[in-house]
Amino acid sequence: MAKGAFISFEGSEGCGKSTQIELLARHLRALGHRVRTLREPGGTPIGEEIRHTLKHSKNNAAMTAEAELLLMNASRAQLVREVIRPALAAGEVVVCDRFYDSTTAYQGYGRELDLAMVKAVIDIAVGDTRPDLTLLLTVTPETGARRRAQRQANLPFMRDRIEESDQQFFDRVEKGFAAIAAAEPDRFCVVEASGSVENVAGRIWDFVRPALPKLGRW
């Protein structure tokens, strides 16, 4: 049976993941690879409904950190079983905008939930489905805050509850991502993403290209 490759993108809000995922997917398709791009939370009909509840609903202001953790992983459990595992089994390259590392960083470090509890919930959601390569995009706190503000200004009718968090929250998230990446250096590649889109894309490809043969498909 063919085995695909699973690449996840991580980083705090405003780091430029969406743009870089689109560029990488386009490049891989041009080389003849079958590529599936996904986002979290979301990626399935059930997951998109959960995404709205988590991020955009007018009725989510009182959501607790524990509810947020469980909803994130409910969406993830559906995505893994409905989309990711079948795509990998079919030999596709799956490129996901966030995966479980975001939960560790946001709900674990950011919301300050017990990390062992967070890991236990993640393990239920994903089982043995883990990224082969994770690209962590980093920007300065000032750049991230500016990009978040610009994005919200461009979407005046769609609030994002998570992006409404204060800077102290995002500082904890950044520290969380740094700790996660340091603990798994064989999986993580850290990409400084404050430069031009083209330069960042080039650095990402430098990491992806040599990793592809090791991921089991090529």
Rg (CA), the chain: 17
d(CA 168, CA 126): 29
Phi and psi of 192, rounded to 5°? -70, 120
pLDDT per residue over 19-62, tens digit each?
A: 999 999 999 999 989 999 999 999 999 999 999 999 999 999 99
| DSSP class of 199 | H
pLDDT per residue over 116-148, tens digit each?
A: 999 999 999 999 999 999 999 998 777 766 766
Residue of 31, 168, 19 lying closest to 5 (CA atoms): 31
Provide the whole-model pTM: 0.91
d(CA 188, CA 131): 10
How many residues are present in the chain?
A: 218
Instruction: For the chain, list the domains and their CATH numbers.
Output: 5-215 (3.40.50.300)
pLDDT at position 144 is 66
